[in-house]
Structures are given as C-alpha cells and as structure tokens.
C-alpha cells in the first residue's frame, strides 16, 4: 500500500504531546473496516517489508 499515517497526541497520553509520520498498510483506523474493503496489506509472520519516504519542507517550487 502507499498510505502514510499521522499519529497525534495532544496531552491525552500521560500529558505528552507527540507527532509522528508512520508508514502504514491500511487507510482506516479500524482493522475490520480496512480488511472488509480490502484496504490493508497482509504479511506472513516475520516477513520483511520496506517503505521509502521523501519529504520536502519549504515553499512550493
């Protein structure tokens, strides 16, 4: 899949604030919804999977 997840916590986890960019194999928060629509990946136990990410921060050129 080519889905990128954003994880945000605004003090709801022990008062900490977090922001994370994470590769993900599904585009829904609920696995049952993603699997039902075939929107998630399926990997064998201990199988490897690699992602590449390029991020540009700045003005549009």
Q: What is the pTM of this model?
A: 0.41
Domain ranges of the chain: 1-53
Per-residue pLDDT of the chain (61 residues; tens, 9 = 90+): 567 788 888 888 788 898 888 877 666 777 788 788 877 777 889 998 787 878 788 997 7
Q: Evaluate whether 36 touches 8 at the Cβ level (below 8 Å).
A: no
Residue for token pair 């919804």: 33
């Amino acid at each position: 899949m080519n889905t990128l997840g954003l994880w945000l916590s605004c003090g709801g986890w022990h008062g900490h604030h977090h922001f994370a960019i994470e590769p993900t194999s599904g585009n829904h928060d609920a696995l049952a919804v993603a699997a039902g629509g075939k929107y998630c990946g399926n990997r064998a136990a201990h199988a490897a999977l690699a992602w590449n990410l390029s991020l540009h921060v700045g003005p549009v050129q």
